[in-house]
Amino acid sequence: MFDEDDLRPGGAWQPTGDKAARVATDRVVVEASRRDVRSVVLCNSLIYGHGRGLGRDSVQIPALVNVARATGTVRHVGPGENIWSTVHIDDVVDLYLRALTGAPAGSFYFVENGEASFGDIARAVARALGLPPAQPWDVDSAVDEWGYELARYALGSNSRVRGTRARQELGWSPEHSSVLDWIRHELRGGGPPAHTAE
């Protein structure tokens, strides 16, 4: 489990080879504050909920739902014991607004408010959609369906962080705390209507 201090420039934590460029970019953005740039990095965890713009859905849960609707079976990679930190889209929006108006230059924030395993998420999706119990998928089958990045990282890895700095520095107080509750109560109903351009 990581917090914001673990990813500071010069910190001891090192990403895997295929994630090094992403972390290097975050560090360059944070370091830009030394050149009078008001730079801020918000590192999102698994986002759930329905957005209110043109792109209503995030990435991970919709990937599970799409396969489930196409095949009749919800799948998780491996045994489903991998855990991701999570955050509701409305809480993400609130933090972005706070960061725009009040974050100090050079800030780095994890955006999270809770966590769940992909096995629990897949089981909740199966119940919400009225499908049989979720089933494991081997990594190769998951890669065939979702591609390397999504299968290995977004759906098949652990990503556990604690976003304490936004709470301390910006007074961020997320209102939504459970991706599993959201799946149980809102996934089937589809949430609020998507915004349409006039």
pLDDT band at 192 (very low <50, low <70, confident <90, very high): very low
Q: What are phi and psi of 155, to 5 degrees?
A: -120, -15
pLDDT of 173 over the 70 cut: yes
In a domain, 197, yes or no: no
pLDDT in tens, 84-100: 999 999 999 999 999 99
pTM to 2 decimal places = 0.88
pLDDT band at 193 (very low <50, low <70, confident <90, very high): very low
In a domain, 166, yes or no: yes
How would you class 115 by CB atoms within 10 Å of its CB: exposed for 0-12, middle for 13-18, buried for 19 or more?
buried
For residue 101, the domain's CATH number is 3.40.50.720
State how many domains the chain has.
1
pLDDT for 195 equals 33
Q: Which residues of 44-70 are buried (b: 16+ CB within 10 A; e: fewer)?
A: bbbbbbbbeeeebbbebbebbbebbee
In which domain, by residue range, is 108 found? 2-187
Return the higher-pLDDT residue of 28 and 1. Answer: 28
